[in-house]
Amino acid sequence: MEPGSAPVFGQTRLFEQARLQLARLHATSGGSLRETWLQLAKIVVEALSIDRIGVWVLLDEGRALRCRYLFQRSRNAEFQGAILRAEDFPGYFDALHARRTLPAADASASELTHELNESYLKPLGITSMLDAPIYLEGQVVGVVCHEHIGGVREWTGAESDFASSVADNIARLYQEHERVTARAALHAYETHLMEVHRMEAVGRMAAGIAHDFRGILGAAMGFAELIRRLPSLPPDADRYSQRIVEILQRGNNLTQEVMSFGKDTPLSPRVVDATKIILSMHSMLQVLVSNRIRLTSELGRPVSRIFIDSAQLERTLLNLVLNARDAMPSGGELTISAEDAEIEDPDGDTGTFVLIRVTDTGCGMDETTRANIFKPFFTTKGENGTGLGLAIVDQIISRAGGFIRVDSAPDQGTTIKLYIPRIAAP
């Protein structure tokens, strides 16, 4: 059936049958919430004749939407975990709280969804959207997104009403699920995200202090240089003043890192192919690690696409590669790989993520070091490290809805695993 081609009576009857099927779904009737959701998704994509349906939940005090489940009929594939942030798509977030449904025939031009065009709609081939906020106890807690791929599609009143009923059924299923299932996993993820925000706030405060301190360091460096220019300066005084300049320069570098960590850098998340980014960086990374380290990119199979700021992903890879280089002062092997991998996500569900591995044959880490590497200002490099590189990596991956795992042991090398949510198939 072509969208919109059924007579009104036939469409109404079709939706009545679908509503009856949805009403028979229960989160407590055996199986997981994920299995129940998948049944719902298949009913809805058939009834609305769409390709993709996703449930996104609000978190971080309403500042972000996280993809709980997304089903694509043409691929028979499920996705989860990606994050949209209100600061990147403010108009769309405002519309969720102002309307019962968000019908967008031409989603690229609609005032409701045009913000999503370049980063989300166009890369995925989505032309029309019909979104409905999910309400619990009178509050918007998420949104169900019906995504059409193909020609621009006008949504009928009956279709909008059906979308609202889908959102109501999802709310009911979540309420049933919460009555019998602890939400500790989701709370743990939200707690981690709040910790990221807390560190960002600390970073912003530190950045303000660092900005002023940088001026003080600059003045001290200037006077140290003037001392070195004095005629007939004793050798010891020249050596000591040179040492002062070097120390002040390290302080200047540290303040620059602190300012970078605390800076509210505008992000431009979009649907990207991680393998293309890795390949485009290979030559530059090889130069950075030098010829004593063999750099290999293992990118055999196509991997799913992810939703992240490409510049931030490049910064993440750069930080990890530089850390690996420093762990191999006598040379070694460094491997970057990407693949789709199944793992339990922070919500306690097993799902498929894009896994990016950075593996080195360096000195490795003991248990204490592994437990602290993502804490700001923790470093094992002494005066040569700032302790912010991996804190920034954790911040970037968490904001994209992902998480990090570390495998390492003394003298056994290190593998950093970045698990980033898929948003679409390869």
Based on the fold, state whether residues 150 and 217 are members of the same structural domain: no
Q: Give the DSSP letter of residue 113.
A: T
Residue 70's region, left for phi above 0, alpha for psi from -120 to 50, else beta, is beta
Kindly report the CATH number assigned to the domain that includes residue 385: 3.30.565.10
What's this model's pTM, rounded to 2 decimal places?
A: 0.79
Based on the fold, state whether residues 293 and 231 are members of the same structural domain: no
Based on the fold, state whether residues 288 and 376 are members of the same structural domain: yes
DSSP-assigned letters across all residues of 321-384: HHHHHHT-TT-EEEEEEEEEEEEE-TTS-EEEEEEEEEEE-S----HHHHHHTTSTT--SSGGG
Based on the fold, state whether residues 168 and 47 are members of the same structural domain: yes
- Look up residue 371 and give its two tokens: 């437990």
Based on the fold, state whether residues 238 and 111 are members of the same structural domain: no
Provide the pLDDT for residue 9. 57
Residue-wise pLDDT tens digits, 262-310 = 555 557 899 999 999 999 989 888 888 888 999 999 988 899 999 999 9
329: in domain: yes
Based on the fold, state whether residues 277 and 357 are members of the same structural domain: yes
- Look up residue 6 and give its two tokens: 């059924």
Provide the pLDDT for residue 374. 84
- The pairing of strands 293-298 and 332-344 is parallel
Which residue ranges in the chain fall short of pLDDT 70?
1-10, 28-31, 178-215, 250-266, 346-347, 377-378, 381-387
Long-range interactions of 87-92: CB distance < 8 A, separation 24+: 87/63, 87/267, 88/115, 88/119, 88/267, 88/268, 88/269, 89/115, 89/116, 90/115, 91/115, 92/116
Number of domains observed in the structure of the chain: 3
Based on the fold, state whether residues 310 and 348 are members of the same structural domain: yes
Based on the fold, state whether residues 49 and 170 are members of the same structural domain: yes
Which of residues 181, 196, 222 is at a domain's end? 181
Based on the fold, state whether residues 359 and 318 are members of the same structural domain: yes
Residues in contact with 114: Cβ distance below 8 Å, sequence separation at least 6, in sequence order:
91, 107, 108
Provide the pLDDT for residue 199. 59
State the residue range of the domain holding 381: 265-426
190: in domain: no
Kindly report the CATH number assigned to the domain that includes residue 16: 3.30.450.40
Based on the fold, state whether residues 19 and 168 are members of the same structural domain: yes
